[in-house]
Amino acid sequence: MSGFGTTDIIDRDILSYVALGDSFTEGMSDPYPDSDTVPNGRYRGWADRVAEHLASHIGEVRYANLAVRGRLIRQIRDEQVPAAVEMAPDLITLCAGGNDIIRPGGDPDEVVQIFESIVADLTATGARVVVFTGFDTGMHSVMRHLRGKIATYNMHMRAVADRYGCDVVDVWSMRIFDDPRAWSTDRLHLSTEGHRRLSLGVCEVLGVPAEGTWNEPWPPPEPRDWRTARQEDLSWAREYLVPWIGRRLTGRSSGDNVTAKRPTLRRCDPGSRTD
């Protein structure tokens, strides 16, 4: 079980927080305003934003983000989990398995076995562990066929969370993410606004006060004719889908030669850039 309850997280004088995962937790595609000046294109993302929200209510928040884009669940288990266990933080967020599930042949039953082994190691530290369901891909025409696999993984994962006393951020049920404006131009990663909303959803699960609500209705969308939509689809396929397929065929990853943006626990200040 977690080391502290849902009501006393902001009553602590010092809190250590470690985020584990892939590009979703690394923060793609939510750049800082000066991201062009940051080596390796560092991103902000929902986890950095959660750390900042925590720092607004806690005397000292020490934060590490070990997530690296493209990582498969075995890589997260082997590369990130031992480091997180050694840090012995108070709070851990874990989102893993998505890259495995969306690949051809990805088996949710096999992936969740590794997921459970990770959760067992993390909860054994006494940390409060927060996990995430997969998104509903029904609104993505190219990824709609994956809904069944993702739903199966979500059911298994929620059972694991129940067994080990983890909190769950159920992004599958957050219909606010059905809107294309929640996603970046690559249609695979959250937009800046998507990351902002997700950080508010995580704060809600943690019981951390934050300004704004994750499910605030979107403003009416700007009208688009079918020609514009078609051209956007073609541009997306050329710029993002074809390179993604190429990496799968050649065994390459977007995370090759990329390291964790925040590999050690360091102080995080409210509203500051954390990388």
Helix (H, G, I), strand (E, B) or coil at 20: strand
If one compares 8 and 160, the residue with the highest pLDDT of the two is 160
Compute the distance between CA of residue 29 and CA of residue 186 in angstroms, rounded to an integer: 9
What is the extent of the structural domain holding 249? Answer: 9-216+226-268
Is there a domain that residue 204 lies in?
A: yes
pTM over 0.85: yes
Is there a domain that residue 66 lies in?
A: yes
Is there a domain that residue 274 lies in?
A: no
Q: What is the tally of structural domains in the chain?
A: 1
pLDDT tens string 68-90: 999 999 999 999 999 999 999 99
Is there a domain that residue 2 lies in?
A: no
Helix (H, G, I), strand (E, B) or coil at 71: coil
Is there a domain that residue 185 lies in?
A: yes
Q: What is the pLDDT of residue 185?
A: 80
Average pLDDT, rounded, for the chain: 87
Compute the distance between CA of residue 47 and CA of residue 26 in angstroms, rounded to an integer: 8
Q: What is the pLDDT of residue 195?
A: 96
* Position 120 confidence tier, pLDDT thresholds 50, 70, 90: very high
Chain length of the chain:
275
DSSP 198: H
Quote the crossing angle between the two packed helices 147-164 and 108-123, to the nearest 10°. 30
Is there a domain that residue 138 lies in?
A: yes
Compute the distance between CA of residue 139 and CA of residue 121 in angstroms, rounded to an integer: 35
Is there a domain that residue 201 lies in?
A: yes
Lowest mean pLDDT among 38-52, 147-161, 170-184: 38-52
Query: Is 39 a residue whose pLDDT tops 50?
Result: no
Site of tokens 């893993």? 96
pLDDT tens string 5-14: 544 788 889 9
At 217, give phi and psi (nearest 5°).
-60, 145
Q: Are 20 and 84 a contacting pair, CB within 8 Å?
A: yes
Is there a domain that residue 4 lies in?
A: no
Q: What is the pLDDT of residue 2?
A: 42
The CATH number of residue 52's host domain is 3.40.50.1110
